[in-house]
Amino acid sequence: MSILVTRSSMPPFEEYCEEIKELWNTRWITNNGEKHQLFQSQLKEYLHTPNVTLYTNGHLALENVIEAMCFPKGGEVITTPFTFASTTHAIVRSGLTPVFCDIKFDDYTIDESKIEALITEKTCAIIPVHVYGNVCNIEAIQQIAEKYAVKVIYDAAHSFGVTYKEVSTANFGNASMFSFHATKVFNTIEGGAVCYSDSSLVQTLNDIKNFGIHGPEKTLYVGGNAKMNEFQAAMGICNLRHLDEEIRKRKLVAERYRQQLSDIDDIKLIAEQENVQSNYAYFPVVFEDPLLTRDKVFDLLREQSIFARKYFYPLTSEFECYQMLSNADSSKTPIAKYISEHILCLPIYADLSLEDVDKICEIISGFHRKCG
């Protein structure tokens, strides 16, 4: 039986059926129905954040909040190339130019010490990325943003359920975007959300995601369609009940990996951050041995029907569609380039057995002994 890099968490079948049963009575399955409203209020409570706007996916959530901030066309956004395509695409599709900043070698988040040198008169925002559940240097980034009067929008797709100094990552910067994709720790099948403190954005974000409609005969904004439907919201309601248990089980898997792999030479495990309660979203490993390479391990695991992921590879700055950008030169972000070429995310999900973790680790350690 194959072991995939992740597996979608789902509530008991009967629980979800019970949650959606009333939809067959009301036939209200989209457009801000009862499930949508309930899920939204539950997220506010869970995240201890004043405002939550729900979306059909995380990418549109990010595009919409960028639009809501009213950045000037042609403005520059400092971000990281060590991220999923969505981050960079959202910036470019919004008429803005990404400026790529390198990452740190210990936690793979944006290197805050290199941000200031990239700021120009065109800089309008910083979009840092919380990676693998690791949190960016919140305080340093906020100081830079305030000094230069630029906005901060966190791509928090990996960090739902994560806290820094007992505060949810929903509450940092001007806004934080979460992805509720099926592969995430917490999912609504597809879905996403933007969390923010400025209540004046509520109407703007609703306008952007629902055609700017204010009533049956009144449309005040040229908006699009990014609404979360009732079936997605119902899945979120169910999965939220089980989230703490999901994270607890993932932690056991991550701890087992650390026990088995921490003593192998030239294998680098991601640092555990101080003051951060992780969600154990991913288990990235950097292979630095010239013989025990990332690609060889990837192939070896695949031969055993174990599917790890080269995540993130390649860097977004190396995408063919961005070679027209003047700063799409990965040599300018050498740490990000190095990590992207050596990193492999091993399978991790709540129901992954510890026996399967041991099997994966034995394949890696056995190959290491053979190389030695």
Alpha-carbon span 311 to 82, nearest angstrom: 9
Confidence band of 369 (pLDDT split at 50, 70, 90): confident
For residue 160, count CB atoms less than 10 angstroms from its CB and return exposed for 0-12, middle for 13-18, buried for 19 or more: buried
Alpha-carbon span 268 to 104, nearest angstrom: 14
Statement: residue 96 has pLDDT above 70: yes
Closest C-alpha among 135, 104, 105 to residue 275: 135
Q: What is the model's pLDDT at position 370?
A: 80
Q: For residue range 312-348, what is the model confidence (pLDDT) as tens digits? A: 999 999 999 999 888 889 999 999 999 999 999 999 9
Q: Write down the residue that tokens 């509520």 correspond to.
A: 202
Is the whole-model pTM more than 0.85?
yes
Alpha-carbon span 320 to 311, nearest angstrom: 18
Q: For residue range 115-132, what is the model confidence (pLDDT) as tens digits? A: 999 999 999 999 999 999
Per CATH, the number for 13-241 is: 3.40.640.10
Q: Specify which residues 153 forms β-bridges with.
A: 175
Terminal CA-to-CA distance of the chain, rounded, Å? 30
Question: Which tokens in the block code for residue 262?
Answer: 């921490």
Residues counted in the chain: 372
**Domain 13-241 and domain 243-371 have a common topology:** no
Statement: residue 371 has pLDDT above 90: no
CATH class of 243-371: alpha beta
Domain locations along the chain = 13-241, 243-371
**Beta strands at 267-269 and 151-155: parallel, antiparallel or unpaired:** unpaired
